Structure 1
Amino acid sequence: MIHAAPVRGRAVWIGCVMGVVCGVVSGCSARRHARSAPPAHKANPEASCDDARANAIETLRTLGYAIVASYDAIPRRMTIVAVEKQSTRGRFQATVAVRCDDRDLEVIGGRSAPPPHDQFEEHLRAAWRARGGGRVGPPVTRGGTPTAPVARVDLLSAAEARERFGGDIAAAGLVAAHLALANPTARSYVVSVPLIGLLRPTGDVVRPLPWTGARARLAVSGQSWKPYDEIERELVTDRVLRPGERSSGIILYPAGTYAEVDLVVIDEEEARSERLPPLPIAR
């Protein structure tokens, strides 16, 4: 399930002086230059995921982003942090995966937006390096069976949704998608629901609603629904998809128009996120 956390705080970007100008000042020592450099990055297999998460959260807060969720995708190996920032240009949202041992950051998804949001990865890379962190970059992209899991996403019609839920989910501000996922590879993959996004025609990534949020929309809609525990059992939950296994279920999103699926899975053995090739939504 999705473990959403309340927003823990907001911070303002604090600029860092990255060097010392010595061109016109004689006697500028190598020692002074050495002190201004960021700490060297070293992988630490015994590193704590709590420490990795705390460092990532503090770095993102320093850049002015509010933390909206954090959870372990692979216990003691990889943690996920979701952030957002509101500005006059709109709301920017991004998701970052933190490898606990080598402090690599993988920018899983972010909303395309005008500056300064289009420099999110660049700013994060500089701030993370200053803390002695590892690589910052996008997930690996692999395509073609059997090197990656295979997925299909269908949006439920009004009739299909009414049969499953007992009411008009569009009137409740929801869209229901059916996910079918197969793993024809020889590797195990972690499927994490918050990493199954839908893309609007504008390119914005919309993440699934947690069940608590979706249930609240159903509750205030004024309609009669099937028992909530029955609906919840239909939903996709976080799981490990082992070689040869299949999985399917329903995912709930805010109402809207969607064009493609942005699906990221995590290689369990390597603790690396992988983005599947662009996936059109079947209708």
Structure 2
Amino acid sequence: MTILRPDRTGPVLSSLDRHLTAVPYAPALTGAARFAVEFLYFGVKEARACLFAGLFFLAIFIVPRGGALGIPRYDLLLIIALAIQCWMLWAKLETLDELKAICLFHAVGFALELFKTSGSIQSWSYPDFAYTKLYGVPLFSGFMYAAVGSYIIQAWRLFDLRIRHHPPYWMATGVALAIYINFFTHHYIGDYRWYIAALVVGLYARASVVYRPYDREREMPLTLAFVLIGFFIWLAENISTFFGVWQYPNQIGAWSTVHLGKWSSWCLLVIMTFTIVAHLKHIRHHIDVPK
């Protein structure tokens, strides 16, 4: 018999993962009882999928603006983010392949941060001092994008996601590239996000995501999932700017709500992130990668 040590968080959570992904079929569960159980498991799986994002943003809210122990806030957030990643890898809450994917999201996001905060653009800024700043951007900022990737990767496994009527991969890749490129080029040749969004709606019109909150599969339109995830990221962004982690030009002097248009930007970023994860899952499924 295996005994779970209560003083070691890692093995306990690993056992939770095994339980969440191997729930036995329960045909006798019906009506209100089934709704309650599925709702509970859905919430637990969502919380588990958000583990990295939740811990990282908790650190953002807790770490004082002036830092702690003589370490500036941005530097401390980088240390915490790295510590969370190392812990998740040690606790087998994240595989090495998943960590590699998250590093890719970090790099993609950090490149966007460098551009958006540059002197000629100045879409937002990081006003506090840090030793780990590169061209005015703290290195921890890439983890905010990695957190989105981590959530999608973890949710894919925990909910046993399947995509029905996924568009051809070359089309999905083209749209994802257009989304990313538009984040840069709209400062020079106009913002085409709504044209891209219309293309996304048409491309994913028939696509649906099949997920398993408990023992039965449920289904929702894939575009609805993109919109919901984007909305919760927009809420997290409002909280982060309220705590002064970064600032938009209209928030200097007095905080104000992040423009609702940013919701659309986050939705598009979620689509781009999802496409990368889908590609990785597709490659992993069709190509034998030696251990």
Q: TM-score, normalised by structure 2?
A: 0.31
Mark the structure with the bigger radius of gyration: 1
Of Structure 1 and Structure 2, the greater helix share is in 2
Larger strand share, 1 or 2: 1
Q: Give TM-score scaled by structure 1 length.
A: 0.31
